[in-house]
Amino acid sequence: MCSKILKWRGWTVIGEQPNLKKYVIIAAPHTSNWDFFIFLTLKWSLKLQVNFIGKHTIFVGPVGWFLRKIGGRPVNRNSSKNLVDAIVEIFETSDEFIFALAPEGTRSYKDHWKSGFYYIAVKAKVPIQLAFLDAEKKHIGFGPLIQPCGDLDEDAKKLEEFYKDIKGFKPELFSKIKFTR
């Protein structure tokens, strides 16, 4: 049903998801509220058991129940707990765990991406699946699978190369692919 919805709305699914039990998915660009719903439709159409995190303040009432049901886990961004290590621990203690996030961390323009996804993949020793939503072409799907080498600057070049021509719903809000230390 969800694949029919994507097709009916004019979207084409590109690429294939990896046949792996553990990996990190980064979904970019994230420039609109529509991104979440379109990626969710892709998740359901492919029957992906994907987990994601979200601001703890939205995990209340019926919305919170729904978000948990579809793989969401609430996170307090102001907490001193190390989120990277907490997610790595989930990878280490799970037989299967697919963790998805938007590396921009926001729909607003930023001059950098958040690097947590990278350190999660390095510490958990799992690959990074590049996922995308190109609103201009109405393409959504998967790009290359990257095994991080441990050199963030080197791997950032691969990310830049893949995402350079992909346009979100609001292209001017697509954050630069660079990382702060």
What pTM value is reported for the model?
0.83
For residues 102 and 31, give the distance between their C-alpha atoms in angstroms, rounded to a whole number. 10
Domain borders along the chain are 2-173
Q: What is the pLDDT of residues 150-178, one digit of tens each?
A: 999 899 899 989 988 988 778 676 677 77
Q: Where are the alpha helices (DSSP H) in 70-151?
A: 83-93, 116-124
Is residue 21 over pLDDT 90?
yes
For residue 167, what are the β-bridge partners?
none
For residues 91 and 65, give the distance between their C-alpha atoms in angstroms, rounded to a whole number. 23
Confidence bin at 59 (pLDDT 50/70/90)? very high
Read off the DSSP letter of residue 76.
-
Architecture of the 2-173 domain: 3-Layer(aba) Sandwich (3.40)
CB contact set of 17 (below 8 Å; sequence gap of 6+): 46, 48, 129, 142
Is residue 147 over pLDDT 70?
yes
Average of per-residue pLDDT values in the chain? 85
The DSSP line for 130-161 is: EEEEETTTTEEEEEEEE---S-HHHHHHHHHH
pLDDT at residue 106, as a whole number: 62
For residues 119 and 124, give the distance between their C-alpha atoms in angstroms, rounded to a whole number. 8
CB contact set of 155 (below 8 Å; sequence gap of 6+): 118, 146, 148, 149
Residues 163 and 132 sit within 8 Å (Cβ to Cβ) = yes
Is residue 51 over pLDDT 80?
yes
Q: Indicate the residue type of 136.
A: E
pLDDT at residue 78, as a whole number: 64
